[in-house]
Amino acid sequence: MSTLMRATHTFTKLLSPSSRSFSLRPSASLPTRHQMSTEAENVIARLKNSGLLRSQGLIAGKWVDAHDRKTIKVCNPATGEVIVDVPCMGQKETNDAISSAYEAFYSWSKLTATERSKFLRKWYDLLIAHKEDLGQLITLEQGKPLKESLGEVSYGAGFIEFSAEEAKRIYGDIIPATLPDRRLFVLKQPVGVVGAITPWNFPLAMITRKVGPALACGCTVVIKPSELTPLTALAAAELSLQAGIPPGVVNVVMGNAADIGDALLASTQVRKITFTGSTAVGKKLMAGASGTVKRVSLELGGNAPCIVFDDADLDVAVKGAIAAKFRNSGQTCVCANRVLVQEGIYEKFANAFSKAVQNLQVGDGFTEGVAQGPLINEAAVQKVESFVKDAISKGAKVLLGGKRHSLGMTFYEPTVIGGVKSEMLLSREEVFGPVAPLLPFKTEEEAIRLANDTNAGLAAYVFTNSIQRSWRVSEALEYGLVGINEGIISTEVAPFGGVKQSGLGREGSKYGMDEYLEIKYVCLGNMNSN
C-alpha cells in the first residue's frame, strides 16, 4: 500500500498539450522469467527451512493428507510454476475436521477469557516474529508486491492482537426486574463450531479477521481457505499450534470447494458460517444455511464509487484514488470500481491521475520497486479484457494501458479509461483488476444517485474540502464503509461490512465480536424465599 501511495509523488511529462492518451513508462530493468523463477525457488527453500511451508491439512492437531491421496497444485501466479501440491479434500475430511472442532469446543469454551487471551497473544507474537516469512509466502502464492504482503501480515496479525484484548471485555448485563422477587440477567456465550470460508486476495488477513474473534469468544473453527492460496493459512495454523492453542480448536481443510461447503452447511454441529467472497456464492451459502438455521455473516462483492468533487485537493484525490484502486492489482472487494469526477475538475484530475498511474511499476512481487503484481489467474485477466472491450465498444476511451503487459502470464497494464457510462460493465459489475473507469458528473445529487445505483454497498470514497458536504454525502451513500479524503480505511479497530447485497454482519472492532456470541436471558425467581 505504501509503495502505491509513494508512486504518486513523482509525475512524468509524457503528456503532450494536444493529447489525452498516455503511454506506460517502460521499466529500465524488468526481471526475466528466469530471474523470477530463481527468486521464487530461493524463497521456497527458505520457507521450507523455517518449517512454515506446510502441504497437508490440519485436523485435530495433526497434519494429514486427503483420504484418497488426491492433490491439487498451488502455483506462483507470476511464473505459473508449481510451488507445492496440497491435499484435495472433500466431504469426509471436512466431517473429520467438524468432529474435531466439536470435541474441542467444550474444553476451549470453558477456559477463562484471560486464558484464551494469553493463547491469542502468543499467536500474535509468533505471527509478527515470522512477518518476513509470511510476507514472502503471501507474495509467492498470491502475487502481490512484497511490501503489500508485509503490510497484510501486520494488518492480519492486528486482528489476533485486538481479539486477545477484546476477549476480556465480553460483558453480560443486569436488567431491572419487574417483580421484587426476581433477578434478570443476560449472558453472552460462544456460538459453537464456526465454518470460515476465505478468499485468495488476502490469504492471511481474511482468516485472522474471522478466527481471531471466534477463538476469543470461545468458538472453535474449521477454516476452508481458497484452493489458490492455501499455504498462508497452513502457515498461520502451524503458528497457532506453536502458540499452544489446543488441537482441534483450529482446523484447516482445502480442495473441493463445493464438497467442503456442503459438508459445513449440512452439519448440525456447525453453528455458524462466516464467508468472504463473491455475492453469488454468498447467496448459495445463505440459502444452504437455512436447512439447519445456522447464523451467517457474509462479506461479499462491492462496486465502490470514488467521488471527486470540484473542491477536492487534487493531489490528495489522486493519491487516494490510486491507493483505493490499484493496491493488490485492483483485486480487493473495497477497490474503487468507479471514479466519479465532477465536471469542473474532470480534465485536471484525468491528466494528473493518468500521469501518476503510468509510474506504477509492474512485475514480480519480489522485485524492488514493483507496485503491481500479476492477476491471480488467466480467468481474471480474461474478465478484465472483456470489461475493457465492452467499454470501448460503447464509446469509452482508453487513456492509459488497456491490454496485457509485455511480461506475459497474467500481468495486465495499469489502465485508465475515460468517458465511461453507467450502462457499461465497468460501472455495473466488479472488474477486480487494475482498471480505473472515470465517469463525469455535474451535481452532488447526481453523484449520490450514480454512486447508489447498484446492488452492492460495501465501500465508498469521497474527496472534498467541504466539511458540510462530507457529512451530507457520507450519510446519503448506501454503503457500510465510507472514506473521506482517504483511500485506505480498513483497520482492525473499526467495523468492516456492507449493506444491500454486499453482505450481512460486521468484522473487526468490538462489533465484530458479537457475530460469534449468543445472548442468553436468565430469570432467577423466588428471591424472597429462604
Nearest to 202 by CA among 249, 128, 148: 148
The reported pLDDT for the residue numbered 18 is 31
Q: Provide the annotated active-site residues.
A: 299
pLDDT digits (tens, 9 = 90+) for 39-59: 888 889 999 999 999 999 999
The reported pLDDT for the residue numbered 25 is 54
Q: How far apart are CA 36 and CA 342, in angstroms?
A: 42
> Which residues in the chain show pLDDT less than 70?
1-36, 530
Neighbours of 117 (CB within 10 A): 20
pLDDT digits (tens, 9 = 90+) for 369-426: 999 999 999 999 999 999 999 999 999 999 999 999 999 999 999 999 999 999 999 9
The reported pLDDT for the residue numbered 31 is 62
Q: What are the phi and psi torsion angles at 102 (to 5°)?
A: -65, -40
The reported pLDDT for the residue numbered 30 is 58
Is residue 246 classed exposed, middle or buried when 0-12, 13-18 and 19+ CB atoms within 10 A define those classes? Answer: middle
pTM: 0.93
pLDDT digits (tens, 9 = 90+) for 168-188: 999 999 999 999 999 999 999
What does pLDDT average to over the chain? 94
Q: What are the phi and psi torsion angles at 304 (to 5°)?
A: -65, 125
What type of residue is 78? A
pLDDT digits (tens, 9 = 90+) for 346-356: 999 999 999 99
pLDDT digits (tens, 9 = 90+) for 9-37: 332 333 332 334 555 655 545 566 666 67
Nearest to 476 by CA among 289, 305, 222: 305
DSSP 3-state of 185: strand
Q: Under 8 Å CB-to-CB from 434, ≥6 apart: which residues?
A: 325, 326, 329, 330, 372, 384, 401, 412, 413, 414, 415
Joined together, the cell numbers standing for residue 455 give 446492488
Is residue 291 classed exposed, middle or buried when 0-12, 13-18 and 19+ CB atoms within 10 A define those classes? Answer: exposed
Nearest to 451 by CA among 432, 425, 470, 479: 479
**Is beta strand 397-400 parallel, antiparallel or unpaired with respect to 415-418?**
antiparallel
DSSP state of 249: T
